[in-house]
Amino acid sequence: MARKLIVGNWKMNGSLAMNAELLEGIKAGLAGVDCDLAVCVPFPYLAQCQHALEGTGIALGAEDVSAHAVGAYTGQVSTRMLLDFDCKYAIVGHSERREYCNESDELVANKVQRALAGGLTPIVCVGESLKEKDAGLTEAVVSRQINTVLSVLEEREVCDIVVAYEPVWAIGTGKTPTPEMVKDVHALMRELMIRKNPDAAERVRILYGGSMKPSNAEEFLKMRDIDGGLIGGAALKASDFLKIAYLASK
């Protein structure tokens, strides 16, 4: 994969003032960045961020999207609404939504399908819990999560997704798997996608997420099959986010 992708997931953080400062800081440091960049922000700030990112080349994304096209779904946000704000990406199936909002593999797959049909690039998150890791179930869990998504996609659609491997136990904890472990899981996921569409070998980017920061990003980003990062905490500080972007540009 030629060009890496670094995505910030702001989660439920930010304010008008904080976002403005963060994006100004990122924009001021873009010289020397030679990778694709995106920020996925809370829904209320899409308009602000769309405006602030105009002409920068940094893509905008949402942190979730509805599985439905339109209608009586109080509190949900549709693909078409996201396109009104020039969103390119929507994170789908983040472990925090799987856990706190009871999102099933099937719902996640439906959201991926809807995002693609609407012209968004879904960033599909998968990853095992600590309990599953300790039980030796990492490969089984990740395979089940990916295969459920693949089962609803047309062959041609496989190349239109981004995948993020985020072990739940590494999110926000400061703990990370070794780069070799991540590389192996990514290779497994790529193999599953290649079975459905051989072009996935070159065309699907697989990101790593979970406590990625400037001090450890390089060891992940230099591995084969790790095509970028999905960054939580370190995406809230312009200098940290930029440092990761510089490392991804090497």
d(CA 100, CA 118): 26
- 144 vs 99, 108, 138, 148, 167, CA distance in Å? 16, 12, 10, 6, 14
Strands 162-165, 5-9: pairing is unpaired
| Residue 39 or 230 having the CB closest to ligand 13P | 230
Could you tell me the smallest distance in angstroms from the CB atom of residue 72 to ligand 13P?
30
Question: Which span (14-22, 155-163, 203-211, 237-245) binds ligand 13P, by CB under 6 A?
Answer: 203-211
Q: What is the enclosing helix (H) or strand (E) of 162? A: strand 162-165
| Residue 14 or 209 having the CB closest to ligand 13P | 209
Question: Which span (75-83, 111-119, 187-195, 209-217) binds ligand 13P, by CB under 6 A?
Answer: 209-217
* Known catalytic residue at 166: yes
Pick from 209, 117, 202, 110: nearest CA to 163: 209
160 binds ligand 13P (CB under 6 A): no
Could you tell me the smallest distance in angstroms from the CB atom of residue 210 to ligand 13P?
5
Question: Which span (16-24, 80-88, 181-189, 230-238) binds ligand 13P, by CB under 6 A?
Answer: 230-238
Angle at the Cα of 62 from the Cα atoms of 246 and 80, rounded to 5 degrees: 130
| Number of continuous H segments (helices) and E segments (strands) in the chain | 11, 8
Q: What is the enclosing helix (H) or strand (E) of 228? A: strand 228-231
221 token code pair:
């980003």
Burial class from Cβ neighbours inside 10 Å (0-12, 13-18, 19+) for residue 244 reads: buried
- Selecting among 128, 157, 166, 186, the annotated active-site residue is 166
Question: Closest residue (Cβ) to ligand 13P?
Answer: 232
- Mapping DSSP to helix (H, G, I), strand (E, B) and coil, where does residue 166 land? coil
166 binds ligand 13P (CB under 6 A): yes
172 binds ligand 13P (CB under 6 A): yes
Residue from 126, 230, 247, 248 that binds ligand 13P (CB under 6 A)?
230
Residue from 41, 109, 126, 171 that binds ligand 13P (CB under 6 A)?
171
* Known catalytic residue at 106: no
Number of residues that bind ligand 13P (CB under 6 A): 14
Could you tell me the smallest distance in angstroms from the CB atom of residue 163 to ligand 13P?
12
Positions annotated as catalytic residues are: 94, 166
Residues that bind ligand 13P (CB under 6 A): 9, 94, 166, 171-172, 209-212, 230-234
